[in-house]
């Protein structure tokens, strides 16, 4: 009974934080599916990542707020219903996630596990040999609560995103990846520094203070 009571208190506290969160309210007002859109927006504003005409791959895309932001970014003068721009899309957005994804006009979605070779092959086929300007990754594994296990799962996903970026990014391309301040964090930063000319760490204002999440931004591939 104590566990259930504590759980209810935690859930109630989370719900209160969620309902009163200014970014949640802003997302509802502006038609974004989640507050996460403002994390990518700030990263874009700080590092000038996106511009119309680019090819962008959105990993861990569901529920779609990042794809929505990118859609608007590639058609900024054509605001539409539901948070996504409508009409002609100046750019390519390919989204991938294990979860279902409500369509965003002009965004190509692939449902599957990025860790599986068959799914990766689908993503590569969708690119049609086009080099990628930016890879964005909001991927996160199901956490077990066991620090070493969770750190290994997170590190594996980031390693896959790094490997994909190394093979498909343009020389001056960028990778944006969500990571957590936990065991293995320093190794992930080192892996970014080994691959990219510029590496920055940034925690957007839309990330809750209580959250250990932050974002690594790697820009410009180092020559092999």
**Known binding site for S-adenosyl-L-methionine: residues?**
64, 66, 97, 113, 138
* Sign of torsion over alpha carbons 72, 75, 77, 82: negative
Cis peptide before 63 (omega within 30 of 0): yes
3-state SS assignment for residue 38: helix
Q: In what order do the strands lie in the sheet with 169-180?
A: 107-111, 92-97, 55-59, 132-137, 169-180, 213-221, 196-202
**Known binding site: residues?**
64, 66, 97, 113, 138
Q: Degrees (nearest 5) of the Cα angle 89, 94, 150?
A: 145
Which residue among the candidates 178, 193, 205, 210 is catalytic per the annotation? 178
Distance CA 66, CA 63 (A): 8
Which residue is listed with tokens 């002009």? 106
Instruction: State how far the alpha carbon of 103 is from the alpha carbons of 91, 109, 110, 192, in Å.
Output: 17, 8, 11, 32
List b or e across 135-158, with b for residues whose CB sees 16 or more CB atoms inside 10 angstroms: bbbbbeeeeeeeeeebbebbbebb
Give 12-18 contacts, CB < 8 A, sequence gap 24+. 17/208
Which residue is listed with tokens 């209160």? 16
Q: Among this protein's residues, is 200 annotated catalytic? A: no
Catalytic residue numbers, as ranges: 178
């Amino acid at each position: 009974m104590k566990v259930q009571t504590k759980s209810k208190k935690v859930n109630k506290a989370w719900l209160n934080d969620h309902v009163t969160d200014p970014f949640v309210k802003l997302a509802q007002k502006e038609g974004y599916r989640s507050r996460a859109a403002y994390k990518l927006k700030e990263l874009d504003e700080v590092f000038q990542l996106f511009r119309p005409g680019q090819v962008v791959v959105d990993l861990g895309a569901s529920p779609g707020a990042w794809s929505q932001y990118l859609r608007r970014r590639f058609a900024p003068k054509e605001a539409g219903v539901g948070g996504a721009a409508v009409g002609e899309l100046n750019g390519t957005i390919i989204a991938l996630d294990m979860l279902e994804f409500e369509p965003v006009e002009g965004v190509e979605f692939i449902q599957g596990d990025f860790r599986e070779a068959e799914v990766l092959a689908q993503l590569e086929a969708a690119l049609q040999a086009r080099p990628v300007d930016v890879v964005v990754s909001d991927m996160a594994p199901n956490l077990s609560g066991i620090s070493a296990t969770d750190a290994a799962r997170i590190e594996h996903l980031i390693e896959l995103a790094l490997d994909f970026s190394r093979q498909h990014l343009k020389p001056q391309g960028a990778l944006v990846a969500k990571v957590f301040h936990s065991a293995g964090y320093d190794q992930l930063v080192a892996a970014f520094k080994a691959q990219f000319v510029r590496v920055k760490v940034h925690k957007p204002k839309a990330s809750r203070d209580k959250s250990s999440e932050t974002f690594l931004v790697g820009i410009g591939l180092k020559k092999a």
